[in-house]
Amino acid sequence: MHRKLQASKYLRMVPRHDGYALYHSLYGGLCVVDENILHLFDVFRTPQSVHDVLDTNNAHDKERLASFMEVFEEKGFLVEQGFRESSRLEHHLEKVGKDLHRGAQVGVVQLVLTNLCNFRCEYCFVENIYVSDERIEAQASESNRIMRAEDARVYLEKVIDLAKKNGRTALSVQFFGGEPLINWEVMKFVLEYFGSGERQGLDISYSIVTNGSLITEEIAEYCKKYKVSVIVSFDAPSGKQRRCTNGKNSAELVERSLSLLNKHYNRVAFNAVLSSETFEVFGVELVDFALRHYVFEIGVLLDLNPEFYERYAAEDIVDKLWEVYLHGRQKGVQLTGYWHMIFQQLVHRDPYRVRGFKTCSATGCQLSIEPSGEVFACKGSSGHFGSILHPDKLLSSRNYRKYALRTFRNSPECAGCEIEGFCSGFCLGPLEKKYGDISVIEKNTCAVYRKLTRRLIEDADTEEVAVFRMQVLEGVSNHVDE
């Protein structure tokens, strides 16, 4: 008796100019197929044995067709009749849940060097996103303004211990603020003390999110020496949304800093926000400006304020971003962001098993450490976990568990969504603020994520994204595995 296979209920198809893109909405594995293969999946709508399909198919090359079916089964596109497909994810979730209290998920530290900032950006989330008592107190507390060098050392050593106990070989440290360079001396201390982690016995990589106004020759040199990825917040050359506290526009300062960073051959990316405040000025000039300053990557963060998605139609937001994305691609500047990570993960399989999260690192992988040592899920979240001085207590806290288990399931409402396995949903901070709950979805933002993902799938350069390309003509097949 031959076992029977059927098409997965999670199989999704997107028509393209050169055929059809297929992927599994939980496990990814995007590939491009032609009409004949699509027809094969039609056949498998009802359970069939491979043997029968091969027998009835007038394929010229049955062996190859059989090998295709093997590949599709391996990708999860074809499954055994009656197989409960979500069980893989459930097993994984169960395992992750068991190891959470040991810190097995933790791989990213957001080190909040200071809560002070020399800018007053119109849309800064710090002004309006926070809700929990712990967060509000941390923001207001005088003693939580600046991290001391000795504290930074102790905090990082605690996380390194944790990472090593869990067999991790790498840790990523992101310097964050406020404006982290206001506390440059402590950043410098961390770089000199921990370096790339040789003494600690694991690889430490660094990045900094900065408004780009305080870069000096020394900072540029250090960033190069310690391979710090410098992420400069910048929305548009003509934008006036990022103002210094003295009221001046920041663009000039940023340009000066970029020259210094370029002089020392630093790796620089922009972080731009597409929001109600920047919608009119966000455009292709950003790409041209980036190129002039040797910046080849622009992360685009979509507005954290849910009202943006009521004010603008999803299609208009997508069109706006898409125009800049295409211009960037033409000029060799990559636009990225959470929306793009969804697509990238669709191409590969089960990425969060390796990385530990889908798009939002605040779901258990990241500890955002304040100057006081209090730990939150992210600077953009009010989710409080405890103190880094007591890691065991922190990791056993209800809040840590709640946030960490959201890594794989945003909300029951995501069941059946075409990007269920890859999308982390809306940023946690605004969900906490609007709903007091992180296991909900913000419907208007879903439409934007789904539309963007579709466009990326339709447009994906098969060379660039290294997908499978398969062509079968009346069963005669020709399979390129890139």
Supply the minimum distance, in Å, between the C-beta of residue 407 and ligand SF4. 11
Nearest to ligand SF4 of 244, 414 (CB atom)? 414
- Using the 8-state DSSP alphabet, how is residue 21 labeled? E
Q: Using CA atoms, how far apart are residues 467 and 482, in angstroms rounded to an integer?
A: 6
Q: Using CA atoms, how far apart are residues 290 and 184, in angstroms rounded to an integer?
A: 25
The helix/strand/coil state of 88 is helix
Supply the minimum distance, in Å, between the C-beta of residue 102 and ligand SF4. 22
Q: β-strand 228-233 against 268-274: which pairing, if any?
A: parallel
**Binding span for ligand SF4 by CB under 6 A among 48-56, 172-180, 289-297, 374-382:** 374-382
- Candidates 192, 161, 138; CA nearest to 368 is 138
Supply the minimum distance, in Å, between the C-beta of residue 307 and ligand SF4. 17
To which H or E segment does residue 221 belong?
helix 217-225
Would you count residue 254 as binding ligand SF4 (CB under 6 A)?
no
Would you count residue 202 as binding ligand SF4 (CB under 6 A)?
no
The helix/strand/coil state of 121 is coil
Nearest to ligand SF4 of 159, 419 (CB atom)? 419
Among 284, 414, 440, 466, binds ligand SF4 (CB under 6 A): 414
Would you count residue 378 as binding ligand SF4 (CB under 6 A)?
yes
Among 362, 388, 438, 452, binds ligand SF4 (CB under 6 A): 362
Among 103, 328, 364, 380, binds ligand SF4 (CB under 6 A): 380
Q: Is the dihedral of CA 38, 44, 48, 49 positive or negative?
A: positive
Query: Is the separation of the CB atoms in 298 and 335 below 8 Å?
Result: yes
Q: Where are the beta strands (DSSP E) in 170-296?
A: 170-176, 203-210, 228-233, 268-274
Q: β-strand 366-369 against 374-376: which pairing, if any?
A: antiparallel
Nearest to ligand SF4 of 266, 410 (CB atom)? 410
Nearest to ligand SF4 of 174, 250 (CB atom)? 174
Q: Using CA atoms, how far apart are residues 295 and 333, in angstroms rounded to an integer?
A: 7
Supply the minimum distance, in Å, between the C-beta of residue 224 and ligand SF4. 27
Nearest to ligand SF4 of 102, 454 (CB atom)? 454
Would you count residue 428 as binding ligand SF4 (CB under 6 A)?
yes
Mark residues 437-456: x for contact with ligand SF4 by CB under 6 A, - for none.
----x----x--xx------
Would you count residue 373 as binding ligand SF4 (CB under 6 A)?
no
Here the contacts of 39-44 (C-beta below 8 Å, separation 24 or greater) are: 40/65, 40/68, 40/69, 40/472, 41/7, 41/11, 41/13, 41/77, 44/5, 44/6, 44/7, 44/78
Nearest to ligand SF4 of 251, 314 (CB atom)? 314
**Binding span for ligand SF4 by CB under 6 A among 34-42, 177-185, 415-423, 455-463:** 415-423
Binding residue count for ligand SF4, defined by CB under 6 A: 21
Supply the minimum distance, in Å, between the C-beta of residue 161 and ligand SF4. 24
**Binding span for ligand SF4 by CB under 6 A among 205-213, 221-229, 276-284, 420-428:** 420-428
Would you count residue 38 as binding ligand SF4 (CB under 6 A)?
no
Among 159, 258, 298, 419, binds ligand SF4 (CB under 6 A): 419
Supply the minimum distance, in Å, between the C-beta of residue 359 and ligand SF4. 7
Nearest to ligand SF4 of 103, 430 (CB atom)? 430
Supply the minimum distance, in Å, between the C-beta of residue 418 and ligand SF4. 7
List, in order, residues 6 or more apart from 74 with CB less than 8 Å away. none
Supply the minimum distance, in Å, between the C-beta of residue 196 and ligand SF4. 24
Q: Using CA atoms, how far apart are residues 150 and 186, in angstroms rounded to an integer?
A: 9
Q: Does residue 178 come out as left (phi exceeding 0), alpha (psi in the -120 to 50 range) or beta?
A: left
Q: Using CA atoms, how far apart are residues 413 and 397, in angstroms rounded to an integer?
A: 26
Q: Using CA atoms, how far apart are residues 201 and 438, in angstroms rounded to an integer?
A: 36
Supply the minimum distance, in Å, between the C-beta of residue 348 and ligand SF4. 17
Would you count residue 360 as binding ligand SF4 (CB under 6 A)?
yes
Task: Give the residue carrying structure tokens 């065991």.
Answer: 392
Q: Which residues bind ligand SF4 (CB under 6 A)?
A: 360-362, 378, 380-381, 410, 413-414, 417, 419-420, 423, 425, 427-429, 441, 446, 449-450
